[in-house]
A and B are shown apart, each in its own frame.
Chain A
Amino acid sequence: MSEVNYFLTEEQQMIVDLARQITREKIIPVRAKLDETEEFPWDIMKDLAQADLFGLYIPEEYGGLGGGCFENCLAVEQMAYGCIAITTTFAASALGGYPIYLYGTEDQKTKYLPDIASGKRLVAFGLTEAGAGSDAAAIKTTAVEEGDHWVLNGTKQWITSGGEAEIYTIIAMTDKEKGARGASAFIVEKGDEGFSFGKKEKKMGLRASSTRELVFNNCRIPKDRLLGKRGQGFIIAMRTLDLARPGIGAIAVGLSQAALDESVIYARQRVQFGQPIISFQAIQHMLADMATHIEASRALVYAIARTIDAGAKSFSKLSAMAKLFPTDVAMKVTTDAVQILGGYGYMKDYPVEKMMRDAKILQIYEGTNQIQRNVIGQALNKEYARREP
């Protein structure tokens, strides 16, 4: 089989092999059942913890492996080949953990990162609210200083791993009049006074992941749970999302690859008009486009993840590209996979209908693809303005 050489190091190849083994042995056998029952994949989270994968991006002094964005992409790509609901649960822990890793004080890092790295405690990231999706600055949850405590009030919506995670990084308004500069980030723990969970959502896809409301009703947390500086909340959120977006691209690549594999295998077996349908140019051209777009997605994600790890200062545009292109490709590829499998593809006996249902979320979460285009477009405007004399 001819494959692109991405020049992985021995350790990176190890990550790929291990994530692939877990996907094959643990994820694929249960994905259809978990999709049906919407059961939270605790057993698989334990396997991923045992495999040290939760510590990929966390420095070694906090019990992690000291890898970067690229290593994380390699792992989630393999897991997403099996099931993106399970992968999202895994990836959400990194999304919640990044702010602590990036902006935590030494005490906060020592307190939380080792448990996150070992997978002992899952993390969730809480930004979105009912009235604040793409317009994240419209959040209404507030945090008010009261003596030695912060008191949080408000409701976060659609929080991945809500209720299951034990650590939450929450963005809340501390100085409303300052607008976007009036938000701050906090660490809230499951069990904190006044912190509870709302309804669990029923979803089109991504069903094995838990999506829930977080309810703060005079939630009192100690002063030292403020993450970063007061007023830095949106910077923390944006930086976190910039770092996480190539991971969403990698999830899209893994999902697309699985859909392509199912399509080619089926097209070689399915006989119509006396021959396997892969012998028809109509099918061949679809498969060719799928394979080419997937490889282009993978190359883009890898190149941008490596650029970020090499110490790029400003990479919002690049990480938006690394999310935008592969996730649009995943929607197209999974839709075409269902088309190639025809009536069988529409049935739950085959895995591609789930892949298509799951794919849609990739164009929506962690910033809709319209927002990604805004980010890229605005960056272009700025970059070209600087060129003018």
Chain B
Amino acid sequence: MNIVVCIKQVPDAASVKWDHEKGTLIRDGVQSVINPFDYNAIEAALSLKDQLGGKVTAVTMGPPQAQDAIREAMSMGVDAGVVVSDRAFAGADTLATTYTLSMAIKKLGTVDAVLCGKQAIDGDTAQVGPGLAVRLDIPCVTCIGEMEVIGGGKALRVKRMCEQGYDIIEVAFPVLLTVLASLNTPRVPSLKGKMRARKADIPLWSADDIGADKQKIGLVGSPTKVFSTHIPKFEARREMLQGSVEEQVEALIEKFKEAGII
């Protein structure tokens, strides 16, 4: 079984700071970490391998230092990894990103399962998983909260969590899944894994290496234009209501109506 897990380096949410004038993140000096949901995707990929055998390959698009993320995934038990890295990829939106990742995954050969985190905590789009499935022309189930191998290893039964309940879906391989944090508890790295990861050769694949169409990658291939960004302000107001309990309740209901809450 060929399993691919897509991971992304994101700024460490614990140490992130804001530029309030420009309305952007200050990325200088902020450590990069693996996107939290992607740890669950790694665990899901490794558990599929534990049950069905095969190989897990981690794929990421980013600058060369994204090799650190691949090494961390390998320390958990991922077999190999590749960083798709080229200045031409810079400024990619989800359309260009899914194209780029799909070209890299196609270069890896036939895949049986692709695991992604539900979304990245920096962009929060949750579009790359489904978009990638379309590019690879394989079925996609998003927001998986439970997963079970069925059909003698030929298919999966998954629980897709929705806002008002869940769907149980049976899907045959090949498949792309995006996973929730509730799916599993990511395993800790192992010493042997860390030692293997330290010595591992992690290739950097350029746009040419994956045979990408230059019109479909990076800023050029991205129809999404960001006009402005801002930092939401949280302004709490406090007001003390006077009178008897009944009067206060009446006043509160009025306030709620004014504010359009009820």
Tell me whether A14 and B187 are in contact (CB under 8 A): no
Tell me whether B188 and A26 are in contact (CB under 8 A): yes
Binary interface encoding of chain A residues 148-162 relative to chain B, with 1 for a CB under 8 A from any of its CBs, else 0? 000000000000000
Tell me whether B187 and A50 are in contact (CB under 8 A): yes
Interface stretch (choices B16-24, B55-63, B156-164, B191-199) = B191-199
Interface size class of B (residues with CB under 8 A): 10 to 19
Total A-B Cβ pairs within 8 A: 34
Q: Which residues of B contact A10 (CB under 8 A)?
A: 198
B178-216 residues at the A interface, CB under 8 angstroms: 187-195, 198
Tell me whether B190 and A50 are in contact (CB under 8 A): yes
Separation in Å of the B152 CB from the closest CB of chain A?
Answer: 27
Question: B187, B188, B189, B192: which contacts A65 (Cβ < 8 A)?
Answer: B192
Interface size class of A (residues with CB under 8 A): 10 to 19
Separation in Å of the A42 CB from the closest CB of chain B?
Answer: 14
Q: Which residues of A contact B189 (CB under 8 A)?
A: 18, 21, 51
Question: A18, A25, A26, A47: which contacts B191 (Cβ < 8 A)?
Answer: A18
Tell me whether B190 and A52 are in contact (CB under 8 A): yes
Q: Which residues of B contact A53 (CB under 8 A)?
A: 191
Separation in Å of the B52 CB from the closest CB of chain A?
Answer: 19
Question: B187, B188, B198: which contacts A18 (Cβ < 8 A)?
Answer: B188
What secondary structure prevails in chain A residues at the interface with B?
helix
Q: Which residues of A contact B192 (CB under 8 A)?
A: 52, 65
Q: Which residues of B contact A26 (CB under 8 A)?
A: 188
Q: Does A15 contact B (CB under 8 A)?
A: yes
Tell me whether B190 and A14 are in contact (CB under 8 A): no
Q: Which residues of A contact B198 (CB under 8 A)?
A: 10, 14
Q: Does A11 contact B (CB under 8 A)?
A: yes
Give CA–CA (A11, B192) in the complex, Å. Answer: 10
Give CA–CA (A120, B260) in the complex, Å. Answer: 60
Q: Which residues of B contact A14 (CB under 8 A)?
A: 191, 194-195, 198
Q: Which residues of A contact B194 (CB under 8 A)?
A: 14, 18
Q: Which residues of B contact A15 (CB under 8 A)?
A: 191
Tell me whether B191 and A50 are in contact (CB under 8 A): no
Complex: chain A residue closest to B77, CB-CB: A50
Binary interface encoding of chain A residues 17-31 relative to chain B, with 1 for a CB under 8 A from any of its CBs, else 0? 010011001100000
Separation in Å of the B12 CB from the closest CB of chain A?
Answer: 14
Give CA–CA (A30, B198) in the complex, Å. Answer: 31
Separation in Å of the A334 CB from the closest CB of chain B?
Answer: 28
A30-57 residues at the B interface, CB under 8 angstroms: 47, 50-53, 56
Tell me whether B195 and A50 are in contact (CB under 8 A): no
Tell me whether A25 and B195 are in contact (CB under 8 A): no
Separation in Å of the B71 CB from the closest CB of chain A?
Answer: 12
Give CA–CA (A15, B190) in the complex, Å. Answer: 9
Separation in Å of the A345 CB from the closest CB of chain B?
Answer: 28
Chain B CB count within 10 A is highest, among A14, A21, A53, for: A14
Complex: chain B residue closest to A44, CB-CB: B188
Complex: chain B residue closest to A75, CB-CB: B191
Q: Which residues of B contact A18 (CB under 8 A)?
A: 188-191, 194
Q: Which residues of B contact A50 (CB under 8 A)?
A: 187-188, 190
Separation in Å of the B21 CB from the closest CB of chain A?
Answer: 32
Give CA–CA (A82, B123) in the complex, Å. Answer: 35
A305-341 residues at the B interface, CB under 8 angstroms: none
Q: Which residues of A contact B187 (CB under 8 A)?
A: 47, 50
Q: Which residues of A contact B191 (CB under 8 A)?
A: 14-15, 18, 51-53, 56, 65
Give CA–CA (A52, B193) in the complex, Å. Answer: 9
Separation in Å of the A165 CB from the closest CB of chain B?
Answer: 22
Complex: chain A residue closest to B194, CB-CB: A14
Separation in Å of the B14 CB from the closest CB of chain A?
Answer: 12
Give CA–CA (A25, B187) in the complex, Å. Answer: 11
Q: Which residues of B contact A25 (CB under 8 A)?
A: 188
Give CA–CA (A69, B192) in the complex, Å. Answer: 19
Q: Which residues of A contact B190 (CB under 8 A)?
A: 18, 50-52
Separation in Å of the A22 CB from the closest CB of chain B?
Answer: 6
Give CA–CA (A145, B188) in the complex, Å. Answer: 46
Complex: chain B residue closest to A15, CB-CB: B191
Tell me whether B195 and A22 are in contact (CB under 8 A): no
Give CA–CA (A15, B198) in the complex, Å. Answer: 13
B23-42 residues at the A interface, CB under 8 angstroms: none
Q: Which residues of A contact B195 (CB under 8 A)?
A: 11, 14
Give CA–CA (A282, B157) in the complex, Å. Answer: 64
Give CA–CA (A52, B190) in the complex, Å. Answer: 6
Give CA–CA (A15, B189) in the complex, Å. Answer: 11
Q: A18-B189, A47-B188, A65-B192 are in contact. List 4 more A-B contacts (CB 8 A).
A: A51-B189, A51-B191, A56-B191, A65-B191
Instruction: List A residues at the B interface (Cβ < 8 Å).
Output: 10-11, 14-15, 18, 21-22, 25-26, 47, 50-53, 56, 65
Ranked nearest first, the 8 interchain pairs of A and B with the lowest CB-CB distance are: A52-B191, A52-B190, A47-B188, A51-B188, A14-B194, A51-B190, A52-B192, A50-B187
Instruction: List B residues at the A interface (Cβ < 8 Å).
Output: 187-195, 198
23 A-B residue pairings within 8 Å (CB atoms): A11-B195, A14-B191, A14-B195, A15-B191, A18-B188, A18-B189, A18-B190, A18-B191, A18-B194, A21-B188, A22-B188, A26-B188, A47-B187, A47-B188, A50-B187, A50-B188, A50-B190, A51-B189, A52-B190, A52-B193, A53-B191, A65-B191, A65-B192
